[in-house]
């Protein structure tokens, strides 16, 4: 879509954009030394898109693709934090055993607050 903004036909831009982005993600994953594939993703995407764009338009599309991906990741992280913070049973002062740990029965000793007067103690 970014390449189409520079006058490239929608068909070739879509096909090369999807393929180039997939290749850039793989290149970023393989270059595990670089954080988030910084540089490797851009080079891979730029090499694929050189058949459609050149010069400043190519650099702009590659840079904007990084910005869009980063913004999407930040938005996803914010939504995840919002969902987790609104989950029921959290923030009430109690501790819950992690999934798969402990029996969850009477022998469980995971207590982080003192029981109130009407509650039964589980020691």
Please report the pLDDT score of residue 78 as a whole number: 93
In-domain check, residue 16: yes
Instruction: Show the CA angle centred on residue 35, arms to residues 31 and 37, nearest 5°.
Output: 40
Most confident of 35-39, 62-66, 86-90, 116-120: 62-66
For 11, the domain range is: 4-85
In-domain check, residue 38: yes
Please report the pLDDT score of residue 76 as a whole number: 94
Q: How many domains does the chain have?
A: 1
The percent of residues in the chain predicted with pLDDT above 90, rounded, is: 15
**What is the CB-side half-sphere exposure of residue 15 using CA atoms within 13 A?**
5
In-domain check, residue 120: no
In-domain check, residue 97: no
Burial class (CB in 10 A: 0-12, 13-18, 19+), 44: buried
Using CA atoms, how far apart are residues 44 and 24, in angstroms rounded to an integer?
5
In-domain check, residue 62: yes
The percent of residues in the chain predicted with pLDDT above 70, rounded, is: 67
Assess whether pLDDT exceeds 60 at residue 74: yes
Assess whether pLDDT exceeds 60 at residue 111: no
SS3 content of the chain, % helix, strand, coil (to 5): 55, 0, 45
Per-chain mean pLDDT for the chain: 77
In-domain check, residue 32: yes
Phi, psi for 35 (deg, rounded to 5): -70, 125
């Amino acid at each position: 879509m970014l390449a189409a903004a520079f006058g490239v036909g929608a068909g070739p831009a879509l096909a090369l954009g999807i393929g180039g982005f997939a290749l850039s993600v793989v290149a970023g994953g393989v270059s595990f030394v670089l954080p988030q594939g910084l540089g490797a993703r851009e080079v891979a995407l730029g090499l694929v898109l050189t058949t459609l764009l050149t010069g400043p338009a190519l650099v702009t599309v590659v840079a904007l693709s990084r910005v869009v991906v980063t913004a999407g990741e930040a938005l996803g992280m914010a939504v995840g934090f919002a969902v987790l913070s609104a989950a029921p049973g959290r923030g009430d002062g109690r501790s819950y055993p992690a999934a798969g740990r402990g029996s969850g029965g009477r022998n469980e000793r995971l207590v982080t607050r003192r029981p109130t007067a009407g509650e039964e103690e589980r020691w």
